[in-house]
Structure 1
């Protein structure tokens, strides 16, 4: 999942970005309200982590803009404002949770994941296709019950492809989903990622293949279906 972190304190912004990226998220981090509005105008995010005390505008204005987006984007508010009326205003303004500074990173991550589960309609915790299974909460991938070791972006790629199956995952969508906006992504990087995941699934004995759809992107297919298609074409 891709997150937008809006925090003007440079050290905390860096700590949040590092922790969340290590936890398996793609993160865009900005330091002002206007930068947040600009980011939301050009990219899609699965959640917003928002500091209310921004240098150029009140964070509540960013929260209000978030509520007007066509796609629901959950928001966790970060603030040092401990007054009850401030917390009530934030929750009434559309925030899904309210975290007071200072906070523990592990607890914050747990609360973020809880918000994501609620607001995404309790998205499936377990995704399966053929003999491949993916546990969203733990990011554990198994083939016939045996775990295979996937790096963070490989797991994110597999999760995205399982969620959209049997549809095609467009290359541009993969770039947006797997990488933060600040990262420079080449076509070769996506192809290398696909190649590594394809090899690990094959070596693990998966009966699921990654099919390249020229000019569009990639999709998952069952090996048996792929063989039938090849026989039909021949």
Structure 2
């Protein structure tokens, strides 16, 4: 899953990016509100982690403009401003959650995953699609025969498809959701990951189907077929 981190403290931004990368997230980072506002007009993210005290454009204004465009991406405010007034302003403008600095990285990861799950209609940490299950805490995909062994990219593709709950996702959209802005990638690389996933899911009762002109989706089927 691809996140946007907006943080003007460069050392903190770097440490948070590395920590979130280790948790399996692709992270784009902006260091001022104006750049964040601009990228949010064109890029698609699973979550925005937003500082409030930003140069050029403060975080509350970034949030206000985001919601004015009717963008429903979950927003987690992460800031040193921990007053009740600041929290109320952020929540009134459409923030989904709030953490004050310094925060525990384990809690940040847990809240990020919970917001992403809820934005896709999942209330539990255990996600299922037919015989396929996903523990979003341990980040393990399993079939009745046991856990699936996946590379990070295979994991990212399958996670996006699972979150979409059987709805088609285009190749370009998959590429945008798993690669950061700074990564050199081609949407055609998605075909490689899908091909590998199909082999690993073969005969399991769940498959990745190609819909011409629409993209890929997860589909349940008879495991004996």
When normalised by structure 2's length, the TM-score is 0.84
Unmatched runs of 5 consecutive residues or more in structure 1 = 228-234
* CA apart distance, 1:213: 4.5
**Structure 1 residue aligned with 2:197:** 197
Contact 2:129 2:165 in 1 (8 A): no
* CA apart distance, 1:225: 9.5
The structure with more radius of gyration: 1
Measured in 2, the distance between the counterparts of 1:179 and 1:123 equals 26
How many residues align? The count is 224
Measured in 2, the distance between the counterparts of 1:226 and 1:217 equals 25
Aligned counterparts, 1:40-79, within 5 A: 40-79=40-79
Unmatched runs of 5 consecutive residues or more in structure 2 = none
Contact 1:7 1:13 in 2 (8 A): yes
Aligned counterparts, 1:94-113, within 5 A: 94-113=94-113
Describe the SS at the equivalent of 1:175.
helix
Root-mean-square deviation (CA, aligned residues, Å) is 2.7
**Structure 2 residue aligned with 1:219:** 217
**Structure 1 residue aligned with 2:13:** 13
Measured in 1, the distance between the counterparts of 2:167 and 2:23 equals 27
Aligned counterparts, 1:180-195, within 5 A: 180-195=180-195
When normalised by structure 1's length, the TM-score is 0.81
Aligned counterparts, 1:94-173, within 5 A: 94-123=94-123, 125-129=126-130, 131-164=131-164, 166-173=166-173
**Structure 1 residue aligned with 2:81:** 81
Measured in 2, the distance between the counterparts of 1:75 and 1:223 equals 36
Deviations along 1:92-139, whole A, 9 cap, x unmatched? 33222222222221122222233334454435632223x333333433
Deviations along 1:72-108, whole A, 9 cap, x unmatched? 2222212222333333333333222222222221122
